[in-house]
Amino acid sequence: MSSSDQTSFLENVNLCFDRAAAAIELPSGLAQQIRTCNAICEVKFGVELRGGYEVFTGWRATHSEHVLPVKGGIRYATFADQQEVEALAALMTYKCSIVNVPYGGSKGALKIDPKKYTQDELEHITRRFTQELDKRGFIGPGLNVPAPDMGTGQRMMAWMADEYQRLHPTDINARGCVTGKPVHFGGIQGRTEATGRGVQYGLREFFRNPDDVKSAGLEGTLEGKKIIVQGLGNVGYHAAKFFEEEDGAKIIAILERDGALLNEEGLSVEAVFAHKQEKGCMEGFSGAQFVPGGAELLEHPCDILVPAAMEGVITQENAGNIKAKVIAEAANGPVSYEADRILNEKCVFILPDAYLNAGGVTVSYFEWLKNLSHVRFGRMDRRYEEAQGQAILDVLEQALGKPVEGAARDSLLTGPDELTLVRSGLDDTMREAYGEIREVHLSNDKINDRRTAAFALSIKKIAAIYESMEL
Ligand code: NAD
């Protein structure tokens, strides 16, 4: 979908790229090579449904193959189109490079409203889509690895993995052909929450940098900060829940398709989510003001605005009215290029999508590594680490002459399980990348914002790989 600015989502991504490429030194033509989408396939396939046939259209784009496999989500949406897929594939290339995940970028979509089909029908359609992608070399553990995105989830990834395995029965790594699978089917603990968790870790890191916090006109930590979230889907729900329950932030408004809920004292994310699950909408939730439509609440005063629904929601039409001090881009492409310029002039601190929502692909990378190594994280070392902790505890207790109790004891005697390791790896990834982006920003006086810095960082890394390859 294009934003309501004149520029499309793809043009927005390319404009951001061009602005960053102009700020760094590159051999002639290399920026163009990096920016170009390498391949895109459109498939049209028939599926036998409800006593007849229905034809579906889908796409898979491979943006850059400077590293393989390429990686990116598959979305099921009625508004999906080729340009959007190309834009999202390009963002994936930059995102993976920013967070040091060794993949090229890809993305896919199927033009479909998944709500109109039964589970059995969706399974049939998803398996057919997988066959089409497989025929054309657009899926495979060493080649192209999809993941969930809007309108898709764990169950669909399991169907895709199963179909791929059926087509390639001797491929021992077949399950690594998609990520975001259920844990019992080759998935990894912590994948479902990963993008929201990464948004939390990214914002926590922002608050660990007092200069950044000050430049946004804020102080302190996430505690007590007023946050508005748009979209209570996978990403928005998890991010909002973690901010509220773990960081003590106040979620003062949640915007959904039918309208928004507003409560300056803070909403219970879990209660709102349960209401939405039960009623399918926001209206009727007690303890908050319901604002029909609700998009105007993007302009409501708050400390942090978290667009976590879809692209193109902040454009030149509403950017000037935004009152948030920080925009944390949990969704892909929520701010258009023109809006980005307006917001930067207003000194709104933007944590860009290509960095902030990289938690999903980071944990997908961990899942893929688990699939290729055929062993769960923590299996080899958990009990060993507990034995080490016990040895330290024995020495400590002997020296102190009394038992060590409480959290200190528990922490020494608990070896890391898979979820702990996944969160630790994600936290490390988000912190490292934040520092790298910050460094690029502060060391280049042609760069004025974190989005341009993030793009420049990624272009530099990809350029270094291309320069070592023979093209
Ligand atoms: P989702 O389908 O689970 O949730 C999206 C939510 O936003 C839904 O609840 C939907 O009703 C709501 N919504 C849609 N349009 C809206 C609008 N105009 N106003 C208010 N609410 C609206 O999707 P998701 O997986 O949470 O993805 C959300 C965004 O995050 C997308 O831009 C996606 O590309 C991006 N993203 C997702 C992941 C992931 O791991 N799921 C990773 C990186 C980026």
Structure confidence by residue, pLDDT tens digits, 134-180? 999 999 999 999 999 989 999 999 999 999 999 999 999 999 999 99
- Quick one: average pLDDT of 54-78? 97
- At the second CATH level, the architecture of 38-185 is 3-Layer(aba) Sandwich (3.40)
Q: How many other CB atoms sit within 10 Å of the CB of residue 99?
A: 26
Task: List C-alpha distances in Å: 446 to 163, 234, 430.
Answer: 49, 36, 24
Cβ–ligand 1 contact at 144 (below 6 Å): no
**The pLDDT of residue 42 is above 90:** yes
Q: Which residue in 188, 182, 136 sits closest to 161, CA to CA?
A: 182
Q: How far is the CA of 234 from the centre of ligand 1 (A)?
A: 7
Type of residue found at 38 = N
d(CA 254, CA 289): 11
User: According to the model, what pLDDT value does residue 1 have?
Assistant: 42
Q: Is 378 left (phi over 0), alpha (psi -120 to 50) or beta?
A: left
User: According to the model, what pLDDT value does residue 3 have?
Assistant: 44
User: According to the model, what pLDDT value does residue 200 have?
Assistant: 98
Q: Which residues pair with 262 in a beta bridge?
A: 253, 289
Answer whether 38-185 and 190-378+416-450 agree in fold: yes
**The pLDDT of residue 359 is above 70:** yes
Q: Confidence band (pLDDT; 50, 70, 90) for 5?
A: low
Which sequence spans correspond to the domains of the chain?
A: 38-185, 190-378+416-450
Cβ–ligand 1 contact at 151 (below 6 Å): yes
pLDDT in tens, 364-414: 999 999 999 999 999 999 999 999 999 999 999 999 999 999 999 999 999
% of the chain surpassing 70 pLDDT:
99
Average pLDDT, the chain: 96
Q: How far is the CA of 215 from the centre of ligand 1 (A)?
A: 29
Q: Give domain 190-378+416-450's CATH superfamily.
A: NAD(P)-binding Rossmann-like Domain (3.40.50.720)
**The pLDDT of residue 330 is above 90:** yes
pLDDT in tens, 428-461: 999 999 999 999 999 999 999 999 999 999 999 9
Pocket test of ligand 1: the residue of 234, 255, 364, 366 to mutate, having most ligand atoms within 8 Å of its CB, is 234
Pocket test of ligand 1: the residue of 228, 269, 306, 310 to mutate, having most ligand atoms within 8 Å of its CB, is 310
Catalytic residue positions? 107
User: According to the model, what pLDDT value does residue 217 have?
Assistant: 97
pLDDT in tens, 93-112: 999 999 999 999 999 999 99
Q: Which two tokens stand for residue 331?
A: 């969704």
pLDDT in tens, 220-229: 999 999 999 9
Type of residue found at 192 = T
User: According to the model, what pLDDT value does residue 469 have?
Assistant: 84
Residue whose Cα lies nearest atom 3 of ligand 1: it is 233
Task: List C-alpha distances in Å: 263 to 191, 285, 322.
Answer: 30, 11, 18
